[in-house]
Amino acid sequence: MKFITGFLRSDAKPENIRLIPKVLEVTDSAAGSAIHRIDGTEIALGDTKTIQDNMKILSQVLENAGVKNQALDVSGFLTKNINLD
């Protein structure tokens, strides 16, 4: 529920909200055994270009996290490109 309420903010960027179905599609299909979290507020308020750029490699990052048995902060990765080591 917290995920959804993150997008109900008056300052949420409509262009970021339109990206949510793609984010969910990628996480559903590529997550495998990776434990991941998504913060709707971070995505709703994040830089759209950064999110779009990081979406290009999200499935690969999720797959790598699953292989390494690491948790992935998807919204943090998309908005700030964190979790890469």
Instruction: Sort 55 into a burial class: Cβ within 10 Å, 0-12 / 13-18 / 19+.
Output: middle
Which pLDDT belongs to residue 78? 96
Q: Per residue in 47-67, pLDDT tens?
A: 999 999 999 999 999 988 888
Mean pLDDT taken over the chain: 85
Q: Residue 72: beta bridge partners?
A: 36
pTM of the model: 0.84
Give the pLDDT band of residue 1 (cuts 50, 70, 90): very low
Which pLDDT belongs to residue 6? 64
Residue extents of the structural domains in the chain: 2-80
Q: Per residue in 64-75, pLDDT tens?
A: 888 888 889 999
Distance of alpha carbon 4 from alpha carbon 30, whole angstroms: 21
Find out whether 83 and 48 touch, Cβ atoms under 8 Å.
Answer: no
Give which of 42, 80, 34 is closest to 60, Cα–Cα: 34
